[in-house]
Amino acid sequence: MSSNYKVGEDSTPHFVTFTVVAWIDVFSRELYKEMFVKSLHYCCEHKGLILHAWVIMTNHVHLIISTTDNKIEYLVRDIKKYTSKQIIKAIQENPAESRKEWMVNIFRFTGRNNNNNKDFQFWKQDYHPIELHNDQKLQQRLHYLHENPVKSGLVWEPQHYKYSSAIDYYTNGRGLLKVQHL
């Protein structure tokens, strides 16, 4: 993380964004979104991740997270490291992936040009944690996160997007992942 953005108090919700290198729309495929969901679920169950809100877009992910028994920076590191390896492997092994060669070449090129990587780079290096220490900031980011699929033209209403916590906030329903409401 090389920026002015720093994690504040780990128990305070933080808005974080993970972006795929070159803004590749990897998450236009259901398979790769499901892999990311499983990783978040695992971190909630076993690593102390508290997930308040989330959305997976085609080329980036927004989360509002906190933790009381870990550090946000460690959770982010683990999520990004694990998902990058698993998703790149899935792309390489997916016989139906029409964009395989193109994506893998970009991941390889980006990885080789970054001393922090060995072979491939899937996620951009930073994640810009923003501590949501007041209600105004929190509500603004929550709204932004849930409206992202609407603004992108994926759905008409936020709660209709499967890969988001909007259903948990806008209806009495429950989404794919357990969230702790803000």
- In this structure, the number of other CB atoms found within 10 A of the CB of residue 95 comes to 5
Is 14-134 assigned to CATH 3.30.70.1290? yes
What is the C-alpha separation between 113 and 54, in angstroms, rounded? 30
> Which phi and psi (to 5°) does residue 54 adopt?
-160, 155
Residues of the chain with pLDDT under 50: 1-3
Identify which of 24, 110, 22, 90 has the alpha carbon closest to the alpha carbon of residue 59. 24
The alpha carbons of the chain give a radius of gyration, in whole angstroms, of 16
What tens digit of pLDDT does each residue of 112-127 get?
988 887 789 999 998 9
What is the C-alpha separation between 21 and 31, in angstroms, rounded? 19
pLDDT at position 88 is 98
Query: Domain residues of the chain, as ranges?
Result: 14-134
Please name the residues in contact with 135: beta carbons below 8 A apart, sequence gap of 6 or more. none
pLDDT at position 7 is 83
pLDDT at position 77 is 95
What is the C-alpha separation between 12 and 94, in angstroms, rounded? 39
- In this structure, the number of other CB atoms found within 10 A of the CB of residue 97 comes to 18
3-state SS string for 146-172: HHHHHHCCCCCCHHHCCCECHHHHHCC
pLDDT at position 2 is 42
Sheet holding 60-67, edge to edge: 49-56, 60-67, 14-19, 130-131
Structure tokens at 154: 């994926």
